[in-house]
Amino acid sequence: MLLNTFTGNMNIKESLLGALAAGRLSHGLLLCGEKGMGVNHFAFLLACDIIGTSDLDSIKQGKNPLVQVVHGEGASGLIKVDKIRQINENVNFSSISGEKRVVIIQNCENFNSNSANALLKNLEEPKDDITYILTTNQPQSIMPTIRSRCSIYTLSCPKKNEVKQFFIDEDVDMDTIERFISIYGENIGKIKNVIFNDKRYAILQNAVSTYKYIKQNNAYEVSKLCYIYNKNKEDFKLFLDDLIDICHRNLSIQTVYIINTIQKYKQIIENNVNLNLVIENFAIEITK
């Protein structure tokens, strides 16, 4: 079973695979986990086991007709009602050969009321050959009507020794692994991003330097480092996320204030704002 290749969360894997083997797997599954935890990868692996294939790439690339993958569009990631209606039409008829089919809906916190309502009937009265797997990094944002119709599984970080073994198998040296665990904890996805993506590593390095200047109440140096992202909102958001992770590993009264201030500015930059002005205000407020 491919699901057994997922690092950690043994109890959840055993529960799902046991239910699958006994023919008791729920037709609606909600997989929750913080960003970097791998909920979408987990969903792909489970889909492979449900339909009985080892060809993970074909599912990820949308080339397996037995698995449909839905995700949001645009900067907001909104899942539009038209997409759900199309899925409903596609699954309306049973598979001629009786094969199992899977619908994966990623980041389902991005439903609006129309798209959620379009899915509800199929969740309430699912066809025997269909399994819906919904994923989210924000379980608190899931509509109660969706939540109540799914079996909920919350992924947790693997154990530290499991994380180390994962990266040892990827030929990463132990000192590097330890360093990033000290920042991100046992979050494999976040660690993997900075190890294998030079741009992502540079953003983290900048966040580490900025944190030092925030602690020194040095608004000038903070603003100088932040201005690197004055034309790239998405990179600035990643930078802010890294600052939050660094603060979480160094909790104090000051870092709680820093985290709250960062969260405030993450909300601000979601609007169409002058990023230069936002960065200037951020640097002043974060170093008070």
Mind listing the pLDDT tens digit for each residue in 225-269? 999 999 999 999 999 999 999 999 999 999 999 999 999 999 999
Mean pLDDT of 93-122: 86
User: Look-up: residue for tokens 């993450």?
Assistant: 266
d(CA 66, CA 68): 7
Confidence label for 73 from pLDDT (cuts 50, 70 and 90): confident
d(CA 234, CA 109): 19
Residue 203 near residue 242, CB atoms below 8 Å: yes
pLDDT of 96 reads 61
Q: Is 231 left (phi over 0), alpha (psi -120 to 50) or beta?
A: alpha
Q: Over 80: is that where the pLDDT of 13 sits?
A: yes
Mind listing the pLDDT tens digit for each residue in 21-72? 999 999 999 999 999 999 999 999 999 999 999 999 999 999 999 999 998 8
Mean pLDDT of 121-130: 86
For residue 119, count CB atoms less than 10 angstroms from its CB and return exposed for 0-12, middle for 13-18, buried for 19 or more.
Answer: buried
Contacts of 242 (CB under 8 A, 6+ apart): 183, 203, 204, 207, 208
Mind listing the pLDDT tens digit for each residue in 172-200? 999 999 999 999 999 999 999 999 999 99
Q: What percentage of the chain carries pLDDT values higher than 90?
A: 83
Q: Over 70: is that where the pLDDT of 217 sits?
A: yes
Confidence label for 284 from pLDDT (cuts 50, 70 and 90): very high
d(CA 73, CA 69): 13
pLDDT of 207 reads 98
Residue 189 near residue 35, CB atoms below 8 Å: yes
Q: Rounded mean pLDDT of the chain?
A: 93
HEC per residue, 130-182 = EEEEEEECCHHHCCHHHHCCCEEEECCCCCHHHHHHHHHHCCCCHHHHHHHHH
d(CA 191, CA 210): 19
pLDDT of 271 reads 85
Q: Over 80: is that where the pLDDT of 16 sits?
A: yes
